[in-house]
Amino acid sequence: MDSKQPLLAKQRSSTWSHETQLESPESKQPLLAKQRSRTWSHDTQLESPGSKQPLLAKQRSRTWSHDTQLESPGSKQPLLAKQQSSTWSRETQLESPQSKEPLLAKQRSRTWNRETQLESPAVVQSLSGKQVSLSHEVRPEKKLREMNPLGGNVKQLLLQCAEAVSENKSEEFKLFAEEVRNAVSITGEPIQRLGAYMLEGLVAKQESSGTNIYRGKYRELDNNKLLSYTHILYDICPYFKFGYMAANGAIAEALKNEDMIHIIDFQIAQGTQWVTLIQAFAARPGGPPHLRITGINDPSADHARGDNPNLVENLFSDMSKKFNIPLQFRSLTVHGPEVTREMLDIRTGEALAVNFTLQLHHTPDESVDVNNPRDGLLRMIKGLSPKVTTLVEQESNTNTTPFLTRFSETLNYYSAMFESIDATLARDRRERISVEQHCLAKDIVNIIACEGKERVERHELLGKWRSRLTMAGFKPYPLSSYVNSVIKTLLGHYSDKYTVLEKDGALLLGWKNRNLISASAWH
């Protein structure tokens, strides 16, 4: 080069292969520095053949492959370009105001952090007195570099993964997913445990395998083990007990003067809900009523696996003998939306109660089926003129929301639930791991990875359920203050971080003021 000014290129990179070619346009003689290095710090001094001044290129590199070509335009003006880049491929062209010949810096890099500084010592100023702006897209590598993937930032990484899935950016998703894998553990903090299952759902979503994974999770256990894990969840968390007590309290209050009672339970499960109510009926001062219970069992729903009509029948038979209460049980195997009045054997003189506990959200609505089976079922039930209808549902909005909103809602909802489990059961307990894997993870995968009719976990907020029931002709049946006090007593046996909120006659159970379950009654 004819210029007496040195050209300093300071580069930080961890390259396995690095080629740098510097060519002076006036001397036609190329200056080639071809370096293949496995070092973290490499200093190379190159001398320009047309100048007595040395050209020092100090390079520190963490890239896998980096080609840089710098061409001097023959100008004596300084060129300062400080670049911080996390791109996979970038071309930057800078033009000197005293020369029409461009300065081309073509850089291909896989680095996560790189600085390149080209400096002439004469002056440090912008070209033509104008500000030089090197704009570039923020790539996922830089985002990851700026994030600490522990603690609360697991959520941030999961949200970045979900965003990549929604935008069909598979390469970005792979990068973020790998970071999440390194940060989560089924024996770690609540967010780390949840993160493992959320990531499983995202991978299934990305690979369009959600339905198969969801069904596989149900079928990997026999019924007995699934039942045992369900009972553990029932014991360690008050969610089921809250729903059962609220519904039973409303039914007991509405039917306290009735001698002939018929309860229709959509998804009877193991019949656990009715044990305390049967005992309460049997203890009536004037004698127990005659009680019929009809349990609906969906023959095809994966979510209903674990229901055991024979077990329920034996349970009720034993209770009838033990407490001297006339009790008949009938199991009805049919899809919930296909239930008709004729199937239910409605009898004159019987007071009717209908129960939906953590079940109605499985029934498709208008967003899945133009016939809107969800609202149709509610209208059919209203036509039976029940004395009371009880509804217990997860307080979450995942039915018709877009994917990213649905993912965020699921993340926040289950974060609170996993924290509450953590307050009761030690992290290294095998029972806790099994409960989360087999009772909760399957629902998480279904919400995140499945669409259309295959997505059966379609939760709605209390306000939406209120609208549906009102449109079907129902009116609120406020839960009594006694039920509220009994539930608060129940929660006293758990953590003080549980909350109970009364809202327009309904009750909401929450963890740290994040509502998780709603219970309401209607007539």
Can you spell out the DSSP letters for 452-471?
GGG-------HHHHHHHHHH
CA torsion sign for 220, 224, 227, 231 is negative
pLDDT over 60 at 279, yes or no:
yes
Identify the three-state secondary structure at position 522.
strand
428-442, 446-460, 506-520: least confidently modelled range: 428-442
Determine the average pLDDT of the residues in 4-26: 42
Q: How many other C-beta atoms lie within 10 A of the C-beta of residue 190?
A: 19
For residues 393 and 357, give the distance between their C-alpha atoms in angstroms, rounded to a whole number: 7
For residues 223 and 438, give the distance between their C-alpha atoms in angstroms, rounded to a whole number: 12
For residues 263 and 279, give the distance between their C-alpha atoms in angstroms, rounded to a whole number: 15
Query: Looking at residue 513, what is its pLDDT?
Result: 85
pLDDT in tens, 67-99: 434 344 444 444 333 444 433 434 334 344 444
pLDDT in tens, 477-493: 999 999 999 999 999 89
pLDDT over 90 at 239, yes or no:
yes
Determine the average pLDDT of the residues in 400-404: 95
Q: Which two tokens stand for residue 436?
A: 């989360």
For residues 183 and 173, give the distance between their C-alpha atoms in angstroms, rounded to a whole number: 15
The pLDDT-based confidence of 267 (bands split at 50, 70, 90) is confident
Cα angle at 521 between 516 and 523, to 5 degrees?
Answer: 155
pLDDT in tens, 178-225: 999 999 999 999 999 999 999 999 999 998 875 666 556 555 566 778
Cα angle at 134 between 32 and 25, to 5 degrees?
Answer: 30
Determine the average pLDDT of the residues in 307-324: 90
498: part of which helix (H) or strand (E)? strand 498-503
Pair type for strands 30-35 and 17-23: antiparallel
Find all residues with CB under 8 Å of 301, minimum gap 6, and list them. Answer: 335, 362, 456
pLDDT over 70 at 47, yes or no:
no
Report field, pTM of the whole predicted structure over 0.75: no
Query: Looking at residue 57, what is its pLDDT?
Result: 39
Q: What percent of the chain has pLDDT over 90?
A: 57
Q: What is the overall mean pLDDT for the chain?
A: 77
User: Using CA atoms in the order 322, 278, 354, 491, what is the torsion angle rounded to 10 degrees?
Assistant: -140
Determine the average pLDDT of the residues in 140-165: 71
For residues 294 and 259, give the distance between their C-alpha atoms in angstroms, rounded to a whole number: 17
Query: Looking at residue 182, what is its pLDDT?
Result: 95
Find all residues with CB under 8 Å of 517, minimum gap 6, and list them. Answer: 239, 242, 243, 392, 393, 394, 395, 508, 509
- Top pLDDT among 244 and 30 is at 244
pLDDT over 70 at 418, yes or no:
yes
The pLDDT-based confidence of 468 (bands split at 50, 70, 90) is very high
The pLDDT-based confidence of 144 (bands split at 50, 70, 90) is very low
Is CATH 3.40.50.150 the right assignment for the domain spanning 248-395+459-522? yes
For residues 493 and 253, give the distance between their C-alpha atoms in angstroms, rounded to a whole number: 25
pLDDT over 60 at 103, yes or no:
no
pLDDT in tens, 341-378: 999 999 999 999 999 999 999 999 999 999 999 999 99
Determine the average pLDDT of the residues in 125-139: 40
CB 276 within 8 A of CB 372: no
Query: Looking at residue 19, what is its pLDDT?
Result: 40
Instruction: Provide the β-strand partners of residue 43.
Output: 58
Domains of the chain, by residue range, sit at 8-137, 248-395+459-522
| Of 51, 59, 44, 46, nearest in space to 26 by CA | 51
